[in-house]
Amino acid sequence: QVQLVESGGGLVQAGGSLRLSCAASERIFSFNAMGWYRQAPGEQRELVGFFTSAGGTNYGDPVKGRFTISRDNAKNTMYLQMNSLKPEDTAVYYCYLRDGTVYWGKGTLVTVSS
């Protein structure tokens, strides 16, 4: 079965940076959609960023200009580079793959202190 494992979360000060990784048990190029969401405490899941059909990227408004997603097909891994972190970025971050169905990782917690 498809498994995704996020890593790299932790505690960081406002203004700092973190890079999250998402390791997949399948070849990620087999999927036609992939990216990252996040869920803050008591809030709904929110788009962070995703890869477009044309191979580009798109981002949710709260993270535009600060976050960057990338991928390494050889490692079957997606990345989320987070810069200029704010306390409101505190959330559990989830990666996903979609092809017929959607597969989610368990999430990794990012806590940004003021």
Per-residue pLDDT of 29-72, as tens digits, reads: 889 899 999 999 999 999 999 999 888 999 999 999 999 999 99
Q: What is the pLDDT of residues 13-24, one digit of tens each?
A: 999 999 999 999
Both tokens of 11, joined, read 């505690």
Q: Are 60 and 46 in contact (CB under 8 A)?
A: yes
Q: Which H or E element spans position 103?
A: strand 101-104
d(CA 92, CA 106): 9
Read off φ and ψ for residue 14, nearest 5 degrees. -55, 140
Encoded amino acid at 82, one letter: M
Q: How far apart are CA 62 and CA 75, in angstroms?
A: 29
Give the CB-side neighbour count of residue 4, counting CA atoms within 13 A: 26
Could you report the per-residue pLDDT of 70-88, keeping only the tens digit for each? 999 999 999 999 999 999 9
User: Rounded CA gap, 33 and 40, in Å?
Assistant: 23
